[in-house]
Amino acid sequence: MVEDLFRIENLSMSFGDKKILKNINLVIHRGEIFALMGPSGAGKTTLLRILNFFEKPAGGDLFFEGTRLSHVREINTVRQRMSLLFQTPTVFNTSVFNNVAYGLKVRKMDRTAIEKKVKDALTIVGLQGKERQKARTLSGGEAQRMAFARAIVYDPEILFLDEPTTNLDPANVAKIEEIIMQVCDEKTTTIVLATHNIPQVKRIANRVGLLLNGELIEVSSKDQIFNSPSDARASAFIKGDMVY
Amino acid sequence: MNGAEFLYGGAVKAFELIINLDPYVMSITGVSIKVSGTATILAALTAIPLAFALSFLNFRGKQGLITLVNTGMGLPPVFVGLFIYVMLVPAGPLGFLKMILTQEAMILAQYILVTPIIAGISLAAIKAVPGPIIETVYTLGGREKDAVITTLKEAKFGIITAILAGLGRALAEVGAILIVGGNIAETGSIAGIGEGLSRTRTLTTAIVSETSKWDISTALALGIILISLNLSVNLLANFFRGRD
Amino acid sequence: MISGIFETFINNVLCLNEHKVENILTKIIFFSILISLIAGCVQNTPSGDLTSMTKTAPPPQELVLATTTSTCDTGLLDVLNKKFEETNNVKILTVCEGTGKAIATGELGAADVVMVHAVQAELIAVANGSFINRTYMMYNYFVIIGPENDPAGIKTAKNASDAFSKIAARQSQFISRGDESGTYKMEKSIWKAANITPAGTWYQSVGKGMGETIVTANIKEGYTLSDRGTYLSMKDKTDLRILFEADQTYLFNPYHVMAVNPAKFQNVKYDLAIRYINYTTSQQAQDIIRDFGRDKYGEALFTPAIINERR
């Protein structure tokens, strides 16, 4: 029995005359790794920003656990249960511990619980023992893993990832992908992954939505979209024959 | 007496005055620090919240206020002094406050001069905090309050620099405090005798009057103290800039 | 009158109605009180208690004296005021500025008593009701100083205006105060008497105090008009010499003290001002004036007005 966690209906978005997203309909199931796949400029980041309430859509509705989100209060409550990891890691100018503990401090958790959860999260991302290091002195890969730990430390129900392995070396890419799957399995966190990296989607996603020019061309299981795509454009993108 | 001998003699006497902690010279230094320090503290208490309001809030007249701050950064001190003078003299509209020729009037003048400087530099420091940092606060479940606190932490070295820049400017300022304070010292105020102490005489205004008397050694001693103070303030500012 | 101008200014230029003005004023006042409180707290630190520790007398009254740079910079007031302060438990707060500004300070009510040397300006200020009890306390003579070799040959001049004419004819360097001082007022009246409008590269206006003007004249090897007191107090710091003096018509330089009119400003310390004025003409003060500078410069800088008459 799959449970609908996040539902998007008839969502559209435009900046000026330019239509960025056209009539998006999408359901995210609880516990899955959903890949939002598409080339650069397709509208992936904009969609993620709308789902995290940084942009107001031009039209359409968002539902969380079946409830339509319209009021600021509801949005703030839902935000508490979500998390987003940006493409380039953002680092607060303080220690690794304070960075990772941020979401817990905001939730007014007590100090001993915070210390334990930060330790666990750093262990998951392979940065154990680095609590007292200044976050700005971390390497790019380490910073992204720290940001990952910061995003999952308070056990969000849904985690949005925007191109999380861009600019990373193969070792760090492998590590991040491993962490994504581990978090999904062990913490039963729902993952929404925006990426243009087809092999990555093949490696870790359960379901895939293909976004081209602001349109959601196809939404189906990984096996189906890679083995028998229903749309000619989807087929072209997957085979790498896409002409931009 | 040739110029070099003159300068040498002046410098020797200057160091004597400083090393012997000449009461007159020390009282002038004290008034300088008190007036400029108090003005800077009050200005910081106004300017920093103002800078945050200008960064985070949207209200009518905001653009006008920003223009006012930017213009205020270059206010001519003599004009400010003159304006406060005519307001505060007994014949002026605020004469009943009996503030003319007091340290309070000098503090008010420097408060007006320094507030826009601290606000302007703080505003730039706040604007320099990357947008994704603030958005990260929201992705981790933080609210507006948390965003403001995080911005304050991220911009803190910039804001400290702003306060120190304001203090440096206040300590070096002479035009406004000379007019509203009157450069008053008690009777017998002669360096090396040290009977009359400063009332509203600061390092800068004293340099003006000692130069006018052509008491070069005292003027040099005061100049050395003033430069040392400003040097310390700048070293402190550099230290904080290095920490950032 | 000035406060009236301000009200009109605020009302008309800022287009505010009276209600709003009151509102703003209330805020400004509130803020000022806040500042005073904070500053007051800081002031109560024990730094200034060195003098009051020894005696348990009531805190001294304060008298604000606005005066000219020549009385300050020569150091006369340091000696003269000390005596008055000791016998009357008073602190005199001296604001040293040019004569013009000292008179203005009194006219605006910011001082209690003024000591100045510009007869015409004093008479106008008394006539418009700003000051009362104008009292003659001392005098000296202005001196024309210049380089020892006296290029314009003013040593042989018939009078001050003749000396100025010679300087202008030779186009020798002349350094002018060019401010609101009594010295500059005197300089202008001498040029007027000589029927000359000084202009050209030889005539330079510095807009500074007497001491700095003398220093400038020394560097430029030029002439300038100085009060005798300031010149003597700087004699060892300059190569300039007195080349012309003692012209009764033009170079006479009387000093007067006068009290700010209490009818105009109720808060001025009129009684104390009067006590001070009477002190300056007392035997004790006049003796101080007569002797001031003799030990240091070999001659007096000022001549007392009263005991000199008695002699």
**Domain containing C106 — which CATH number?**
3.40.190.10
**Closest partner residue to C95 among B91, B104, B184, by Cβ?**
B184
Say how far apart CA B30 and CA B202 lie, in whole Å: 8
The DSSP annotation for B190-234 comes to: -TTT--S-BSS--HHHHHHHHHHHT-HHHHHHHHHHHHHHHHHHH
Percentage of the residues of chain C whose pLDDT score is greater than 90 = 52
User: Closest-CA residue in chain B for A81?
Assistant: B141
* Contact call for residues C228 and C252 (beta carbons, < 8 A): no
User: Closest-CA residue in chain B for C62?
Assistant: B186
Cα three-residue angle B207-B212-B218, rounded to 5 degrees: 45
- Which amino acid is located at A29 in the chain? H
* Closest-CA residue to B130 (of B145, B147, B109): B147
Residue of B137, B139, B151, B153 to mutate, testing the A interface (most A Cβ within 10 Å of its Cβ): B139
Indicate the number of domains in chain C: 3
Token pair listed for C69: 């740079």
> Which of A17-31, A93-107, C39-53, C244-258 comes out lowest in average pLDDT?
C39-53
Sign for the CA dihedral angle at C120, C123, C128, C130 comes to positive
pLDDT of C102 higher than 50: yes
Q: HSE-up of A138 (CA within 13 Å, CB side)?
A: 27
Widest CA span of chain C, in angstroms? 70
B45/C contact by beta carbon, under 8 A: no
Same domain, C79 and C163: no
Per the CB < 8 Å rule, is A93 touching B154?
yes
> Which of B95-104, B135-144, C152-161, C207-216 comes out lowest in average pLDDT?
C207-216
Per the CB < 8 Å rule, is A82 touching B133?
no
Q: In what order do the strands lie in the sheet with A18-29?
A: A18-29, A4-15, A59-64, A67-68
DSSP strands (E only) in C97-235: 113-116, 131-146, 174-176, 203-205, 224-227
* Closest-CA residue to C188 (of C274, C100, C264, C270): C100
Same domain, C42 and C72: no
Q: How far is C94 from chain B (nearest CA, A)?
A: 6
- Chain C touches chain A, with at least 3 Cβ pairs below 8 Å, answer no
Task: Pick the last residue of a domain from C202, C221, C244.
Answer: C244
Beta-carbon neighbour count of residue C288 at 10 Å? 20
Per the CB < 8 Å rule, is C35 touching B107?
yes
> pLDDT by residue (tens digit) across B19-43?
888 888 999 999 999 999 999 999 9
Tell me the mean pLDDT in the region B149-167. Answer: 93
C70 contact residues in B (CB cutoff 8 A): none
Beta-carbon neighbour count of residue B39 at 10 Å? 30
Same domain, C120 and C157: no
Q: HSE-up of C289 (CA within 13 Å, CB side)?
A: 21
* Contact call for residues A95 and A135 (beta carbons, < 8 A): yes
Q: What is the ipTM of this complex?
A: 0.87
Beta-carbon neighbour count of residue C66 at 10 Å? 28
* Contact call for residues A156 and A81 (beta carbons, < 8 A): yes
Rg (CA), chain B: 21
Report B:70-129 residues touching C (Cβ under 8 A): 86-87, 89-95, 97-101, 103-104, 107-108, 111
C183/B contact by beta carbon, under 8 A: no
Q: Which residues are bridge partners to C259 per DSSP?
A: C113, C132
C38 is a domain residue: yes
Tell me the mean pLDDT in the region C75-79. Answer: 91
Report B:124-163 residues touching A (Cβ under 8 A): 130, 132-133, 135-143, 146, 150, 153-154
Per the CB < 8 Å rule, is B89 touching C109?
yes
Same domain, C216 and C258: no
Q: What are phi and psi of C277, to 5 degrees?
A: -60, -45
Length of chain A: 244
Model pLDDT, residue B70? 93
* Closest-CA residue to B222 (of B208, B207, B200, B232): B207
C159 is a domain residue: yes
Pairing of strands C241-244, C113-116: unpaired
* Contact call for residues A213 and A42 (beta carbons, < 8 A): yes
- Which amino acid is located at B3 in the chain? G
In chain A, where does DSSP find H-type helix? 44-51, 72-80, 96-106, 111-124, 140-152, 170-186, 198-204, 222-227, 232-239
Cα three-residue angle A28-A30-A32, rounded to 5 degrees: 75
> Which of A87-96, C26-35, C195-204 comes out lowest in average pLDDT?
C26-35
pLDDT of C79 higher than 60: yes
**Closest partner residue to B212 among C7, C105, C211, by Cβ?**
C211
Residue C90 parent element (H or E)? strand C90-96
Widest CA span of chain A, in angstroms? 55
The DSSP annotation for C121-135 comes to: HHHHHHHTTSEEEEE
User: Closest-CA residue in chain A for B146?
Assistant: A106
> Which of B96-105, C7-16, C213-222 comes out lowest in average pLDDT?
C7-16
Q: Which residues are bridge partners to C174 per DSSP?
A: C203, C223
Q: What are phi and psi of B58, to 5 degrees?
A: -115, 120
Same domain, C41 and C87: no
Model pLDDT, residue C42? 41
pLDDT tier at C5 (50, 70, 90 boundaries)? Answer: very low
Q: Domain containing C188: what range? A: 141-244
C64: left (phi over 0), alpha (psi -120 to 50) or beta: beta
* Closest-CA residue to A118 (of A108, A130, A106, A107): A130
The CATH number given to B20-243 is 1.10.3720.10
The DSSP annotation for B77-134 comes to: HHHHHHHHHHHHSTTSTTGGG--TTSHHHHHHHHHHHHHHHHHHHHHHHHHTS-HHHH
Cα three-residue angle C149-C154-C155, rounded to 5 degrees: 75
Token pair listed for B82: 């003159």
Model pLDDT, residue B118? 97
HEC-encoded secondary structure of C2-45 = HHHHHHHHHHHHCCCCHHHHHHHHHHHHHHHHHHHHHHHHHHCC
Model pLDDT, residue A241? 64
Token pair listed for C186: 């005197």
Same domain, C236 and C159: yes
> pLDDT by residue (tens digit) across A168-209?
888 889 999 999 999 998 888 999 999 988 889 999 999 999
Say how far apart CA B149 and CA B166 lie, in whole Å: 23
The average confidence (pLDDT) of chain B is: 90
C266: three-class secondary structure by DSSP? coil
Percentage of the residues of chain C whose pLDDT score is greater than 70 = 80
Question: Looking at the whole model, is its pTM more than 0.90?
Answer: no
Say how far apart CA C190 and CA B169 lie, in whole Å: 43
pLDDT of B2 higher than 80: no
* Closest-CA residue to A165 (of A135, A124, A201, A136): A201
The residues near B119 (Cβ < 8 Å, ≥ 6 apart) are B46, B47, B48, B50, B51, B54, B69, B72
Say how far apart CA A69 and CA A122 lie, in whole Å: 33
* Contact call for residues B209 and B185 (beta carbons, < 8 A): no
Sign for the CA dihedral angle at A76, A78, A81, A86 comes to negative
> pLDDT by residue (tens digit) across A124-140?
999 999 999 999 999 98
Say how far apart CA C207 and CA C15 lie, in whole Å: 38
C249 is a domain residue: no
User: Closest-CA residue in chain C for B104?
Assistant: C36
Residue C64 parent element (H or E)? strand C61-67
Q: What are phi and psi of C35, to 5 degrees?
A: -60, -45
